[in-house]
Structure 1
Amino acid sequence: MIKRFNVQRGAGGLIIFIPEDEHMKKRGVYEKLKHLGEVWDDLTELDKKILADWFYGIGKVAENIKEMQKTS
């Protein structure tokens, strides 16, 4: 299952799709990500770009790991 987080209240926000995971849920990761939406409007454009690139990079790494697991 995929959880969807829209971390900005207005248009043009960063939307993060995260696989639902019991371990992450127990550690409170989803709750912590919700707080990002509360401060999103206060971030500079550079902050937003860095976060967007970081989340995009994490997604790409996860995709590569899945592909490697399929071929192993």
Structure 2
Amino acid sequence: MVSRRQTVRVERFAKPSEFREFFKALYGPTIAAYRAVATEPDRVAALDRELDALAAEHTADGVMEWEYLLLTAHRRN
């Protein structure tokens, strides 16, 4: 097995709220987090602020670099 760390350049989000809304609507763990606090408006607002802060912290000029780990394995017969 071979592993490599790589990055992908993301230019999709012009502002932090776009990042938040994307993950809030489409990313399973984030959807679950919002469902868990859905009946508590203060916690929903806090989660919104935290996601906005996360995006702002990792964005430079509207660009984010996301790191991922690529694993390549070969099956032996």
TM-score (norm 1): 0.39
Higher relative contact order (CA 8 A, sep 6+): 2
- Structure index of larger Rg: 2
* Higher helix residue share: 1
